Structure 1
């Protein structure tokens, strides 16, 4: 699965719903607060002086960096239009050992979503101000993307960009994943295939974390504003006005001499990894920025859209982006909601507007805004999710709102990292050793041919020069070798980015071959996911 998004979503849900002692608000109260979250509230004073807050948060960040051994980290804290804490740690790469600086460009991962939500709202507000129907974030998506269609005709006619940007379309988790990495389809080919998916969840009632569906909502806004990609819209409406001159796309990130290399976690420690291009999910996880640029971003958030005395973001845009539209969970005493690319939770009735980012290749980030206190935090790391950003975020909230150290969240976040590694391995269907005497397989000529599945498309089974069966998926040129396992069962290796630069797990491939006839179907166990079958028919 591309970038381990499914497992990252599992961890995200756990982070959002695990009862923590510092959440002092009942679910019902939080839900009611969420309904009024967009209402203007007077600024509160932090529970301690700002210099004391900065000192204690810096000390905690120092300890977290030392405890997690994450290769590099950058942290900034804004109060209104001022940066009151800024610090960089470690190295860009454990190979080059070059130090992290304010200008080091990090992958932001899902922090991109908050930027996409606000940019979509800007296009919406433009249409409202100019009294045009060019874009409405709450209008049917088909009005702006006529080619878009889902399996359910009624939902097709009613689903909106806001539904996509708040993860409430009802499509199965991670709809679209693997269609790019395994099958090589373009974004529009992926979007077209959504019509082959039955809704797995209730439309507008369930939270289902997705990257391609989210990207679709942002792309609708970009197209309405005359842009071919969301990145173009973001550059015009966010990054250029804010002076975020180093904020960029994947290709420019790779070319930048000062960029943070992602690192995955191995038994021997962190190991440098590679990051595939992310243009296909630019709005969901494809933005790259330096700490210097992120400081301008968090200043805008903490100061109601004003930077250096000039308004760059309308207050209404922030209000609409932060407005809760979906309920993530009501677990124990907590409630977490979701706006347009932003999570909204509460501590002592104070709003926390935030989002974490995680890429399986070895990136973990967070932004947390306390709008009632005019404070916003950013933490960037170039290591796999071992809890550093999340723990610092939790401490930030405690110190500002409660004024005390209630609980060290680092052990909790580090425990989740171990769970994530274990769950990822299991999700790829590692196979046990084959039997001592494998049963004979059907002749290869009965297996070869073209098989199809409505959602996935086609897979061709052919011979390679060495006589092995190989699978060729969709538009991908890659020929994946099938190794005989037992009878008509083969194994195929699937890349697992978080396990290492060249790591792969074997997954089962099962042919159904009646009597002496050509095989009728082939099943790829890796493709058996919620709402999707891995069976391809001849």
Structure 2
């Protein structure tokens, strides 16, 4: 997911193509572009749903068109925050976090603050799982969702140096190709890490929801339509994953091992992993929660993001994230040891794509770098941020001012409710001015809700129209169907005449409810669930289209043996 980029200071927040920019889905976005039907909205796995979008944009505007090549970043002004101002913000963090938890009911939070090479704050709050007493502490493991992206870019910087970002991806991932052969042969690691390949917003995420693995998804991105190469921005978990996979394949090791050997082990991040099984078996683990109908938080889902591991599959602790922040803010060095080459790491902090042009003459442009939301505040200081979100129970934020050598990471165990972003925004507000500039929680939460609502069907399937036409006999629709992108589907007629739809490699079964004529509906499931969606058959029963799978025109399934329409 990309992240909320809400600026603690500066002009009034504006909209960046559906993302909130205050000054990573940044309210950061999930890193998406302008609205395109339901998925390219007005962008927090890893990444994905409205949440994935908000995760991508970052925490600068409300917290690109590509440069022809690496260019020197603008010089950083001297530090403007002294130790006392930072300490003031740290001293008020307990109150900020506890107030946010009371307002939202969030069960658990962990926070780390790093300044000038030192960890000034490292603490857990609340409980790992609602209804239980086990407390969150500095060593509780959380899923990071899209905060995995700047971690992945750190790994790639360590693995390939400066020049490796310009290497083409396709030669190292033989089954990966895009719709345009020329783009396939030229798209680089940097193109995919900065979301400028031309792939649509969150391309591949719905395949993950249906249960397809990484290999299948990367090999089927070729069906996605492309926007202009290197001239458009759209946040894609699986584009970034393809680039990371290419680096790992070139090194001859799985991505998960490359991440551990390049970053986690050398940095002493012993509780950090890019494998879901390590999170799942951790004894000190924060369970993800979603809000139930009665408003309470419940641990209903266990999100497995292995398919998009580089983009959304990291799990870590506040303690380990503090070590990573120290490394980021010290040019790749940790405790006197150069773990990541300084020049290669600095390369990840530069603007690469424009995520949001200025909305007013005095507005600021928002950028995406290599796994980071990149912006510049009113004082001209570089701000790096990213938000992560799973609709199924994670919300995280990392924000840094490299020139101040100051950074914060906030981990929570709920689907987005504004806490992770608001705590980071409050912290920087207090450090810079001594006061919180605005009430961030309702602003951020409203953006998440707005994005979720935008994805829902405009048809009210719960209330068929008066005079609705009857359906045909169940046997007219039953059968096996195929789709080049989404694979095989089956429509099965039960003894009672009811229809069920089977989708995915290990078929997920959805009961179809009649709406009108040849149109039925079912309730979607998974990270990108959008509520009820339509299934419309052709009158002859030879094909059907699933509404929420059809945002890029790929959602039509044709009966086996029938000629595609």
Q: Name the TM-score class by shorter chain.
A: 0.7 to 0.9
Find out whether 1:536 has 2:562 as its counterpart: no
Structure 1 residue 446: Cα displacement: 2.3
Secondary structure of the residue aligned to 1:241 is coil
Would you say the 8 A contact 1:3–1:361 is kept in 2? no
Structure with greater helix share of residues: 1
Tell me the SS of whatever aligns to 1:340: coil
Distance 2:440 2:185 in 1: 44
Query: Is 1:11 the counterpart of 2:36 in the alignment?
Result: no
Q: Which residue of 2 aligns with 1:168?
A: 196
Rounded to whole Å, the distance in 2 between the matches of 1:434 and 1:18 is: 42
Which blocks of at least 5 consecutive residues in structure 2 are unaligned?
1-38, 40-44, 560-565
Q: Matched residues in 2 for 1:444 and 1:102: separation? A: 57
Once residues 46 and 161 of structure 2 are traced to their aligned partners in structure 1, the CA distance between those partners, rounded to angstroms, is 33
Instruction: Provide the C-alpha distance between the structure 1 equivalents of 2:418 and 2:546, rounded to a whole number of angstroms.
Output: 34
**Correspondence for 1:125:** 161
Matched with 1:302 is 329
230, 244, 256: which is aligned to 2:269? 244
Residue 401 of structure 1: how far off its partner (Å): 4.4
Contact map agreement 1:472 1:479 (CA 8 A) in 2: yes
Of the candidates 440, 453, 472, which is equivalent to residue 470 of structure 2? 440
| Distance change >3 Å, CA 49–CA 483, structure 1 → 2 | closer
Q: Deviation string for 1:129-163 (max 9, x for gaps)? A: xxxxxxx3212222322332211122112111111
Q: Is the 8 A contact 2:51 2:416 kept in 1?
A: no
Asked if the contact 2:520–2:534 (Cα under 8 Å) also holds between the matched residues in 1, the reply is yes
After TM superposition, list the pairs within 5 Å mapping 1:279-290 onto structure 2.
Answer: 279-290=306-317
When residues 238 and 497 of structure 1 are mapped into structure 2, their CA distance, relative to the original with a 3 A threshold, is same
Q: What residue in structure 2 maps to residue 23 of structure 1? A: none
Equivalent residue in structure 1 for 2:513, among 475, 478, 483: 483
1:443 positional shift: 2.1
- 3-state DSSP class of the match of 1:114? helix
Task: Identify the residue that residue 545 of structure 2 maps to in structure 1.
Answer: 523
Q: How many residues end up aligned between the 2 structures?
A: 507
Report the secondary structure of 2:508's partner residue.
coil
Q: Is residue 312 from structure 1 mapped to residue 333 from structure 2 by the alignment? A: no
Alpha-carbon displacement from aligned partner over 1:393-416 (angstroms, at most 9, x marks no partner): 223333444565433423311322
Q: Deviations over 1:466-486 (max 9, x none)?
A: 543232224223333323333
Shift in alpha-carbon separation, 1:377–1:428, aligned structure 2, 3 A: farther
Residues 1:378 and 2:412 are matched in the alignment: no
Match of 2:357 among 323, 330, 337: 330
1:306-343 deviation per Cα after TM superposition (whole angstroms, max 9, x unaligned): 22232222212320111211111023312211111111
Question: What's the C-alpha RMSD, in Å, of the aligned pairs?
Answer: 2.9
- Preserved CA contact (<8 Å) 2:51 2:389: yes
CA distance in 2, matches of 1:15, 1:221: 25
Q: Could you tell me which residue of structure 2 aligns to residue 363 of structure 1?
A: 394
Which residue is 2:286 aligned to? Answer: 260
Matched, 1:146 2:174: yes
Match of 2:372 in 1: 342
Q: Tell me how far apart the structure 2 counterparts of residues 99 and 528 of structure 1 sit (CA, whole Å).
A: 44
Alpha-carbon distance, 1:164 to partner: 0.9
Q: Distance in 1 between matches of 2:62 and 2:115?
A: 28
Contact 1:113 1:284 survives alignment (8 Å): yes
2:427 to 396, 402, 413: 396
Match of 1:93 in 2: 129
Equivalent residue for 2:17?
none
Structure 2 Cα separation of the partners of residues 146 and 14 of structure 1 = 30
Q: Does 1:59 align with 2:85?
A: no
Alpha-carbon contact 1:16-1:329 (below 8 Å) kept: no
